[in-house]
Structure 1
Amino acid sequence: MTRADLGKDPSQVSAMFDRVAARYDRTNNLLSVGNAPLWRVATTRAVDPKPGERILDVAAGTGTSSASLAKSGASVVAADFSPGMIDVGRRRQAHVSNLVFVEADATKLPFADGEFDAVTISFGLRNVNEPKLALAEFFRVTKPGGRLVICEFSTPPVGFVRFGYGMYQRYVMPPLVRLSSSNDDAYEYLNESINAWPDQHELAAWIREVGYREVAWRNLMMGVVALHRARKPLATA
């Protein structure tokens, strides 16, 4: 079986990302029509990392977003469950002294309670087999008063944008994947995972359920992507 199904078996999804690791960043830049770096900038600004802070970047992949966060002087931990992604990331980001890579499952993070000033995940939560459990883990490792930032594909609120994006996924994305990726099946899975993912309102409700407050989101690219933000209360029950 070469394509993980929407059951998101962790071993299958991890192996899938291992296979695409070498060309992952290049393919993402192509499929996003050059918007991936802009989304990264928006996410980094939302996290607002500061020197001396400790930041956790979950599903960090090759560490491109982690390196952006580390430019602030914050200490950044790039966590991913794909050994292939971690290997590529360690090589590519070897020059970033305040960035470390850790192989970790988002639903069972190997970190202490309240260890991080901010937790962020970009385009990875929908690939977790139990996303609500992952959100609860993010809450656990966030310091009281700390921040959560999630950048993820979402649902455009305007009908014609949804239609146009659907046409792009169906007719434009497949040939682009064949040109740039080493694994067509992996990106077919990713397409399916985008379509099955909840919209902005539902994800915000999930974030509130685990205990975060001040939950808000901002649509990017007319809602194709949404940037959710939240804060852990200073006092938790």
Structure 2
Amino acid sequence: MSRAGLDKNPREVAEMFDGVAKGYDRTNSVMTLGFDRRWRDWSRRVLDARPNEKVLDLAAGTAVSTVEYAASGAWCVAADFSVGMLASGAHRPVPKVAADALRLPFKDNSFDAVTVSFGIRNFNDTVVALQEMARVTKPGGRMVICEVSTPVWKPFRFVYMRYLLKLLPLIAKFVSSNPVAYSYLAESMATWPDQRTLGELISQAGWEDVAWFNLTGGMVALHRATKPKPKAEPEAAAEAAEPTA
């Protein structure tokens, strides 16, 4: 069984998720006490996918969330670096693409919206991934990220960091096809930036109107942002402002 290191080597990350693909959805529900469904529902609401829009669901895993976004009438594609994860979701009726988040195989300005749930912390260069997400999003398009974060209530934050994260690998021994991988997942959760720091990284990558709100006391946070529209040239803006006869 394999696990990735905190340097997040792409090959190791892909192999690790190939190893947890079998039974991954069931394991998620057990490990989160069913809260994963609630978090996905909030992501769907905030993304607000609309009929005929094109949506990229990045690090989509078995495409559980992709199917939920597609129920809106949008055309949604599931992209993931782990072929094993995509294969485990082969029965779900959405297009699937094996893709590296740092070099997405899509043209500029291809999507109306892009989203990633519990995957961005596994990319070995967060800012580059955010820049790639911006590249393939249309100007004015939106991004939603659902990811683990830092509990805001200090007593709960202490228990979460000191005890709950350490329980994950132990629970995984009973429910996961690759329990050793959950040692990495717990470590990556403990070292992941807090809400404000991730918001700053999103801005640094070129997104605007960055905002976030907490779910489950900040154990998970939703970040949303918009890709800036091109600024009008000064002459064109002046002509548009001139009154017509």
Could you tell me which of 105, 122, 128 is aligned with 2:117? 122
- The residue number in structure 1 matching 2:22 is 22
* TM-aligned CA deviation for residue 175 of structure 1: 3.0
* TM-aligned CA deviation for residue 164 of structure 1: 2.1
Give per-residue Cα distances to partners, 1:14-48, cap 9 Å, x unaligned.
00000110111111111111100000000001110
> Equivalences for 1:109-188 in 2 at 5 Å?
109-166=104-161, 167-170=163-166, 172-188=167-183
TM superposition score normalised by structure 1: 0.95
SS of the equivalent of 2:6 reads coil
* TM-aligned CA deviation for residue 236 of structure 1: 5.7
- 2:215 and 2:231 mapped to 1: Cα distance? 31
1:205 correspondence with 2:194? no
SS of the equivalent of 2:2 reads coil
Superposed structure 1 runs of 4+ greater than 3 Å apart: none
SS of the equivalent of 2:95 reads strand
- The residue number in structure 2 matching 1:49 is 49
- 1:60 and 1:105 mapped to 2: Cα distance? 12
Give the letter aligned to residue 141 of structure 1.
V
Give the letter aligned to residue 230 of structure 1.
A
Give the letter aligned to residue 87 of structure 1.
A
Give per-residue Cα distances to partners, 1:96-155, cap 9 Å, x unaligned.
3xx200000000000011100000000000001111100000010110110000000011
More displaced 10-residue stretch of structure 1: 145-154 or 155-164: 155-164
- 1:165 and 1:159 mapped to 2: Cα distance? 10
* Contact 2:17 2:84 (8 Å CA) reproduced: yes
Give per-residue Cα distances to partners, 1:151-192, cap 9 Å, x unaligned.
00011122111112121122x323321110111111110000
- The residue number in structure 2 matching 1:105 is 100
- 1:136 and 1:158 mapped to 2: Cα distance? 32
- 2:80 and 2:158 mapped to 1: Cα distance? 33
Give the letter aligned to residue 184 of structure 2.
Y
- 2:177 and 2:116 mapped to 1: Cα distance? 24
Gaps of 5+ in 1: none
- 2:12 and 2:99 mapped to 1: Cα distance? 15
Give the letter aligned to residue 175 of structure 2.
S
Q: Percent identity at matched positions?
A: 50
- 2:62 and 2:177 mapped to 1: Cα distance? 16
TM superposition score normalised by structure 2: 0.92
* Contact 2:165 2:190 (8 Å CA) reproduced: no
> Equivalences for 1:90-101 in 2 at 5 Å?
90-91=90-91, 93=92, 96=93, 99-101=94-96
- The residue number in structure 2 matching 1:81 is 81
Aligned residues: CA RMSD: 1.3
- 1:236 and 1:68 mapped to 2: Cα distance? 34
SS of the equivalent of 1:117 reads strand
SS of the equivalent of 1:184 reads coil
* Contact 2:202 2:210 (8 Å CA) reproduced: yes
User: How many corresponding residue pairs?
Assistant: 231
Gaps of 5+ in 2: 233-245
- The residue number in structure 2 matching 1:227 is 222
